[in-house]
Structure 1
Amino acid sequence: LHISVNIVPQLIPIQTFNFTVKEGLSRAINAEILNILHPFYSLANIYFVVEEAPQHGDIRYLDGDKLTYFTWEEIKLGHVYYMHDSTESKEDSFTLSASAYEIERQSLPVTIAVTVIPVNDEPPQLTRNTGLEVLAGEEADITSSMLNTEDADTPAEELVYHIDVPNNGMVALKEAPEESILNFTQAHINKGEVIFIHEGEESGGFSFTVTDGEHTSPLYQFVVTARPLTITMVTQEELMVFPGTRQSITSANLGAVTNEDGNEISYSLIRPPRLGRLILANDRNQYEEITRFSQTQLELGAVYYEHQLPEEPFWVMRDSVELTLSSQPAPDVRHILPITISYYAAHSNISSQLWKNKGLEIVQGQREVIDDSILDASNLLAILPEVKQDDADVVFEIKRFPDHGRITLGGQDLPRNAPSFMQEDVAQGKLEYLHDDSGASFDSFSFRARLKSEGQGVASPAEAVVLEEIFNISIKRRGSDSPDLVTIDMLLEVLQGSMTILTQKHLNTQDEDSPPDEVHFKVTKAPINGRLVDSLTMDPISEFTQEMVNRGQVGFISDGSLADGFMEFIVSDGEHQTEPYTLHIGVLARNLFLDKAPEIKVKQGDDETLVTEEMLRATTGGPVEEDILYKITSVPKYAAVMVDRQPTSAFTQTQIKEGRVSVRFVKSTSPRDSVAFIARSKAANVSSVLNITVQPLANIAQDPLLPQGALVQLDRKLLDATPLANKTRTSPTFTVIQQPQGARFVRSGGPGAGQPVDTFSQKELDEGRVAMEILNSASGSRGSVSQDEARFLLKAHGVPPAECVFSFQTGPYNASGVYPATLLRIPSEVPSKDGNDLPDVTGSPRSTPASPHWRGNMDWPNGGAPTTTSSGSSSHGKPHVYRRSNFWSILIPILVILLLLFLAAILAYYLIRKNKTGKHDVQTAATKPKNGEVASAETFRKTDPANNIPMSNMDSKATDPELLQHCRTTNPALKKNQYWV
């Protein structure tokens, strides 16, 4: 027997699922949402009871009736629904339980959650639109209390305002106030992120709508009203100041407010006070003058008016300060603060209303004058008009005499019955206080001061002013203090060989209880460079008093040397003696010696040239040199004197020694300049002028010897400005500023050959286009040498011009001499009648065979021409020899003769081999040499006397200048039918 047992759960197992429903709609509760899991229970008759109804909806039957329970069968048929109530809720829930009454079983309660999908069906509602009030030109927040919109089914982040452009400003976000916006959300407003910046009209605003994405509100107007910011003075009391003190300026004197709380007001000084100044107290309790301050500083009591006492006494004076009050964007307000300076004004730290009441300090048992430097009531006279002041005076009436001394007037004690004295007595020094030598340390007397007019019966209001005060006297015990040397300058400077008076600047002591005549100086070590004397008797002294120093009675006489010295001394008041002191004595030289170079040369193209002590040095000649000051009195026109490469008007000898002084040309227009200066020591000075010259950057021959009557090539051997050309990358020019006496500069070659020239360039020199023609000496003995010179101005771009001198010597031509220049033409000498006085030239002249090409002026190769001599009929012709040096003029003819002999021997050998006999008058043509070569053989032939070339006397002056440019001293190549002579 097989028995099956089906075990059934005790509780009805229910499975539920949450579901979603749109706002205001319904959803069937079927087996997909509510299900019974066990088959036993699913076949039973099950009832579902609504334990907890939904809050935002109902459980309804198919026909719409609300249900509190339903069956499982109705669930399976889909007749039970959840109906949402269309509220703006986003979620809901309800609780069910299942029961099977027949079998008495039930389930646990289960809750089903409902998610509501909202539907945007509510339009936005504008709940607040109060408008905005803003300060003119300022910005203000647009808050939710001014502008607010609500929407039941739309969050604030999705409520968007769309605005038109405001007509009196712009709307922006706080994070970017410079960028205008035309839309923002309610969330921006709620967070305080929207601001309005006013600009323009006082009344305006903007139109706007609000949208939630589905619905848009009507057009609204947001009104913005601007109110101006104003500054108003609420208190403006006059400032009362006691003379010579500082008085705090409070809000009672300058009380200003704005119509907007919290706005700071600043004060700017337009017109400062005449009789004082405005000052501000800082954190360190120090005062500084100001021109601006704030309302806060004013309220803290940190702003003061400080009165500055004038030299003349007064009683009342008036001053004022003009200020500008500003607090943007409010318009500025001007205000004048009146100030009264008066002795009527109260001041807590001032006990006297007199012009001066300083009291007296006196040594025990001594007598002191009470003068107007410590007691002066002249300010009372200032109460009267000026016309009445001459007839009035101040009278002092003693109310209480001093306890430890006497008051005397003109040497007499004041009477006890009517003790009084006048301000005039005080001014004249007639009033004295005499201490009774008691041990008291303090004394005083009281008095009453008032005005008194001459010949006036009834007292005027001014005379009614009476001041009662106390004059305090401080008494110092005798001998309590030792003398103290308070001299700052312990150096006495004396002129060499003269006398100098010692003053309180050199020796001054301070002794509170000893008069100057009791303070003694005793010299313990006398100076070695002079002596101390009594200036009245001129007697040497070794001891003197402070009183003698104060009267100028002590002098020092220098012994005339420049050695420094010192004086050692002690100070004593009879009871106390100080340690030794030293007074140094410096001697100032009477004379100043200046040593300077004739000129300072600045090399052409150099940036600067240092001034050395070899160029400029001033000295006093003493063992210790003073630092000399050079003061420029006349500024150079084209150059500049510099210290540390900066233009200066003064420099010292020390700076010259340290290599810090230099000169440079700042204008490229002059080759020289000068600077006038005065050199000063402490006691002497000397004036002078320092010449500054540009040194040419060129190589110039030094005194070359040139033959008279010759034409000399002007080239780099004589003038060479190549260094300047390399430095400036230009071709420098020479301008003749002084012609030589025995020569002239001419063009060489070209159309203008032989023409005088005043200006030429380095390039022309290098191309051989400039020559110097040496003139024959018109006077002087034969064989004498003359000195001559030419001056040039050497110029190049960017550098100052320089003057250069070309010195040279001229003398008669010596054919055997060696000249340091290229001779384009040598001088000619007149021969004797027998033809034996020709120049001594190696080799004999040869006649030149006739040639149909000779025309007198031939174009010789390389500009060279052969030398010709005349025949016997022309014995007076002058030879013309062109050579670069006499050495070659001797060697070349010898080599030519040897070459001719060698060729003749070869020719003879050749004729013998041919066995030719007889004599034939045959011309053998020489092979035409190549250009620049010397012919290997010369041709000789008999010539008809009729065909002889006539020789003419050639003078150097008649030489064609164009031919001269081609002349050279090297051996030229021979053309056809030409030979050497």
Structure 2
Amino acid sequence: VSEQLILYQHMDWENTGWTAEDSFTFTVSSPPAALGPEEFHITISYEINEPGRQSRLLANTGAVVKEGDKVLIDQSKLDASNLLLKLPESQRSSYEIWFQVTSLPHHGTLMVGERNITKRKPNFSQYIINKFGVTYLHDDSESLADNFTFAIWPNEKGKSTMKPEADFLEEMFNITITPINDQAPELKTKGLRLQVLQGSRLVLGPENLKVEDLDSPPEEIRYVIIRDPNNGFLAMAHHPHIPVHRFTQADIDNSQVWFIQDGSPSSGAFYFSVTDGQHCPLYKLFQLDVIPISLVNLADLLLPQGQTSVTITSAHLSAVTNGRSPHITYKIMWPLQHGHLLTEDQAVVSFGQEDLNLGKLSYHMTNLTASEDQLQFSLLTSESKLTGQTLCIRVQPLLRVVSNLTVANRAAHQLTRKDLDATELANRTNSDPKFEVTEPPVHSRLVRRVGRDTALEVGYGPRTAGARANLTGPNSLNDSFTFLLRADHVQPATACLPFTIVPPDPFLLQAFTPDVSFLVTDNLVTIGLSQEKPVVSSGPTTQTGTLGKLTQTRWPEAAPWGRQSGEEPTLDVTASPTRVIWSPDTTRASPGAPTQPRESSHPLMVITPLTVALFLLIVTVVASCVWLLGQKAEQAKPLIKPQINLEPPTAGPRPERSTTVPAVTVTPLLRSSGSPPVSLFRAPQCERMEKSPASEPAGRCAPWETWVNLDPDMVTLCRQTNPALKHDQYWV
């Protein structure tokens, strides 16, 4: 009894029921003493949870399956027929046990024959298990365990197999997956390289060397050093002086592998293999780079504009060594172009780290026309050398630049003092600072405003930034331009103005309904009237138009910069008596805003023929005008008849005129037979006509000083410019 050799085994469980009692009587004797008969009671029940047994079913042993294989769950593994013992013996034959899977397996599938057990059809009976069994199929993943949960209850035969709300048991069936080593180790580290300071030691961690195997733990991934490094050795953390040639991935993950550098300045490498014991090993080369000296600080040196010297400290230059050679020397490899280095008022070509730490070294600029300089140097110790280093020296502009500048797309933005403020530089130098653009913006352009001089005004020389980005949608676009800031007696400084191009706000254009025909000439924009949509063209062109009542309309796709494609707009010369629309360039013009020149994207081979053709056209027009003036001098009769009746021939009621608008009688021009109507005005001669419109801004047109076939009284009534219309005014 003390050795736990006496067991009680329950027999005839089918006739026992869900719960039963049993007992046996025994006596104890130890001569000469004896103990009378005693009774030992035993309770038999499926409700009792024994150690190591959590199921109340007759069988719920679980199953074992290989990775990617299947296993049959039969009556020996899952048997819940003992639930019928809860029922009276007379009712047991009319009930059967049903299962409902409440939680499907995570890494496999349950099948009854050819049918999968799903959430929509989760039921099967104990009869199916006894006769056919339930199959579990693993999905060939790298999982090591799986399970599914089910509910069981006695269900009366012939009735619906719905799980009751009470009186049911719920248990879990566990499945153990035996892994198969079918995955080879995979190297995850891209660059097998480690940088170590000369004479020091460094941990070889998983960020330097990492091999993964989905079906093997890190302890089973073994490394073997085939060729040792020539500038040190690998050791374990607990024995740093003993070289090792074998270790595992778990040792690397736990930071147990170290590389001990032997102090030599040369770099090295070691050759190794790695395997999981089942697949062919991987052979790799691991590089070990030795850094004899390290430059920890290398920042640009900024020389304020107007000053000629600045101190160089350890914040600009700083280096560290391995400790064996603490003395660091900086040697200038190439002479400075625009200045020199001084230490205690003495020019030097080499200096030490102590000079930088104590602030003894300074740079003096001698060439005040330069905006930057370069210090090319090498670092030297007694054991190592670091070459090819450069310290950039730049002149810091004495300028305040606006932050977060935004410019509307296809609009002009005047640069003012708020954008670029060089007031302090102007006061110090008593001069007018100049801005010289060295790198123009990519998506916009800079132009000087027409009609303004270059004297100091608001922004030190008025310039206009116009954004011409190909911007669609609500997105913004970043742009910038770089310039040199110059002033008298100081160095120039390079600066940059960044800005953001944002979508523009919609704007309105002017349109009116014409009543009386008129003629328009403009050197920048010409309005073409046709029965199609109006087309805008540039250049000196004459076109017939009409005037009428002024109204407001929206121009849906207007852009103040014109088209950006390679095509130039053409002119439709078909006159329309009903409507004229002013182009966006004319409607948005204001007395205080500059006229923007057009940019042409035509190549030179297209511009040259067009220029020649335009010149020939001008010569032809001028010759025609001279000939017409000669014809006018020969003719003595007037062009306008003394009296012309403009009333309609039929009598009728005269239309009532407004008292606020005076009646105006229009005298029509005479037309010669067989010839088209003569234009009221001749195209004006524009300034800079010989220059290409793509390279020079359009000049102002000369006044209308030449008249063709007009009565002298009519000439006096004509205006050279079109004034802005006010309320209740119209053209006559």
With the shorter chain as reference, the TM-score category is 0.3 to 0.5
Q: Which has the larger radius of gyration?
A: 1
TM-score, length basis structure 1: 0.25
The higher-RCO structure (CA 8 Å, 6+ apart) is: 2
TM-score, length basis structure 2: 0.33
